[in-house]
Amino acid sequence: MLKNTLLLSVLALSLTGCVGLNTVSMTQVPAKRDNIITTKAASWNLLGINFSNAFVDEAIDGLKSQCPTGKIEGVYTKHQTTGYVLMFKREVFVSAYCNEV
């Protein structure tokens, strides 16, 4: 019985995570807000050791691909980190407005 309780406790702890909001930023919101675009990118790392921030470029490319001929304005970004037992997931969420020029 004790063995099952201990095993269940370890399993429950390994499936939980703690989310921390690192930064939020926003540029000036345009008057014309018809076409909203969103994207996100993520990176996993072990023990919180980061070797690259290149995953942020994926989010930028995602915005550019959704607005190839327009102007991207009113950019809202959110960077958060979710910590699991030995792993961390860094995520960037981006939303903006694509206005035709």
Sorted by where each begins, the domain ranges of the chain are 17-99
Number of Cβ within a 10 Å radius of residue 69: 7
Pairing of the two strands 18-26 and 87-99: unpaired
- Residue-wise pLDDT for 10-41, tens only, equals 776 666 778 888 889 999 999 888 899 999 99
pLDDT at 85 over 90: no
**Two structure tokens written together for 66:** 């959704």
Q: Which of 43-47, 48-52, 54-58 has the lowest mean pLDDT?
A: 48-52
- Distance of alpha carbon 22 from alpha carbon 40, whole angstroms: 15
Q: What is the mean pLDDT of the chain?
A: 89
E strand or H helix at 77: strand 71-83
Measured in degrees and rounded to the nearest 5, phi and psi for residue 95 equal -135, 150
